[in-house]
Chain A
Amino acid sequence: NAGVMQNPRHLVRRRGQEARLRCSPMKGHSHVYWYRQLPEEGLKFMVYLQKENIIDESGMPKERFSAEFPKEGPSILRIQQVVRGDSAAYFCASSTGPGYEQYFGPGTRLTVT
């Protein structure tokens, strides 16, 4: 399966812990996007990355959240000191470039207890 992969699919963290979400883009794609979706709400853009570069992080909260897409390995979205409000589905998508079709991974459901 050459689709977008995300892991873990489900993640439970206690308040104050760190959450690390991983995304491997579709084969041939070098552009990665992270979105957050709260229950019954729309998709909210968080960050757009290319290999080793953050292109646009305008949707990322200023504190506790960071993202990277290293030269080797998956893209990682890191949430430090999680709070209950961070509970959501986090989706990763990839594309061949800006403006082209984005394909989504299955998502990571984060629950903060």
Chain B
Amino acid sequence: QKEVEQNSGPLSVPEGAIASLNCTYSDRGSQSFFWYRQYSGKSPELIMSIYSNGDKEDGRFTAQLNKASQYVSLLIRDSQPSDSATYLCAVHSGNTPLVFGKGTRLSVIA
């Protein structure tokens, strides 16, 4: 059973701080990794994808992948109240469906 684990939170950070969201996965053969943001009552929105070890930056977001440790993270710099949402980690390997974690709820306090 392929699993993706996330701390459910809530993770509370003050406005302007760095929010760090973490995700571990069980399948060492996983190849593709994604972060989605989901506001309450809305559909998931793709934020970042990462396929190789290291960091990938896009604006205020940085995804970090460490395949040896089976760990992927998302950093949000200069957090804003509008970043308050649930963040979903998703992992893909082989021909199996994308596996989602249950999400981490982030609350940015103004």
- Residue ranges of A at the interface with B (Cβ–Cβ < 8 Å): 33, 41-43, 45, 48, 55-56, 58-59, 91, 98-107
- Alpha-carbon distance A36/B67, docked complex (angstroms): 29
Q: Which A residues touch B45, using CB under 8 A?
A: 104
**Also in contact, A56 and B97, with CB within 8 A (given A98-B92, A99-B31):** yes
Q: Which A residues touch B49, using CB under 8 A?
A: 101
Interface size class of B (residues with CB under 8 A): 20 to 34
- Residue ranges of B at the interface with A (Cβ–Cβ < 8 Å): 31-32, 34, 36, 42-46, 49, 88, 90, 92, 95-103
Contact B43 A58 (CB under 8 A): no
State the Cβ distance, B49 to closest chain A Cβ, in Å: 5
**Also in contact, A42 and B103, with CB within 8 A (given A33-B98, A56-B97, A99-B31):** yes
State the Cβ distance, B61 to closest chain A Cβ, in Å: 15
State the Cβ distance, A26 to closest chain B Cβ, in Å: 11
